Amino acid sequence: MTSLHQEMGYDRAITMFSPDGRLLQVEYARKTVENGNDALGFVCKDGILLVSTKKSTNPLMIMTSVEKSYVVDDHVISVSSGLLSDSRVLIDKARIYAQENRLKFQAPIDTLSLVKYIADIKQYTTQTGSMRPFGVSFLIGGIDITGKRLFVTDPVGIYFEYKAAAIGKNEKTINEKLIERYKDNMTMKDSMLLSLNILKEVQGEDFDMKSLDVILIEEKAEKTKFFSGNDILDYFDVHINK
């Protein structure tokens, strides 16, 4: 069995597998996401809903400058967990790719193609010696001709489609609660209330409405909307369980 000291020699380059078949740099990137902010995504009866949390250790920081929710195109939105700088770079690439598709084909890009594009960039860094893996995961939701869709991409470039999913520090616990409580054809209001209750249960005393951002796409209106803090409660007309 390989000792920890021996394993450490295999994390000097991304292209080097350890004797037991692991890419340690990839595992470090995943650990970054595990220490990141919690985020949840839902495919709803009336659209796509993404909820993200953010925190600051500096009371002087203006929280609106911490951007973890993104409009990729008119019909595609995303939230991230992990390194903020990595997510910004990948989202900028995705935005350009989406606009190039409009110019070439005179049509909006489908959500899956955009997800594959981001995943391919992530995967490329796992086999290139001069690079490191992107330390970020995304929830990507969109509405296109195939319907309402939600995907999760991880740092290694793997992606899967979900009805509801979570990423971040409490990913495992939140996903377990989503499996128990999520129901097909939930409205965005139902999903928002579920998100608030789960986050309050999981985060406990650390839960703070001021740290929440919500980005959504309404299926009927075909437009994105963004809310933060207590504006979320007002828009959805919901209350948090005590």
- With a pLDDT cut of 70, the percent of the chain lying above it is 92
Query: If pLDDT is split at 50, 70 and 90, which confidence band does 1 have?
Result: very low
What are the pLDDT digits (tens) for 207-231? 989 889 999 999 987 789 999 988 9
Query: If pLDDT is split at 50, 70 and 90, which confidence band does 5 have?
Result: very low
Q: Would you say 37 and 53 are in contact if contact means Cβ atoms under 8 Å apart?
A: yes
pTM to 2 decimal places: 0.91
Q: Taking CA 39 as the corner, what is the angle to CA 34 and CA 41, rounded to the nearest 5 degrees?
A: 130
H helices within 74-187, ranges in order? 84-105, 111-125, 171-181
Strand partners, 226: 215
All domains in the chain, ordered by first residue: 18-55+66-233 (3.60.20.10)
Which residue matches tokens 């350890």? 18
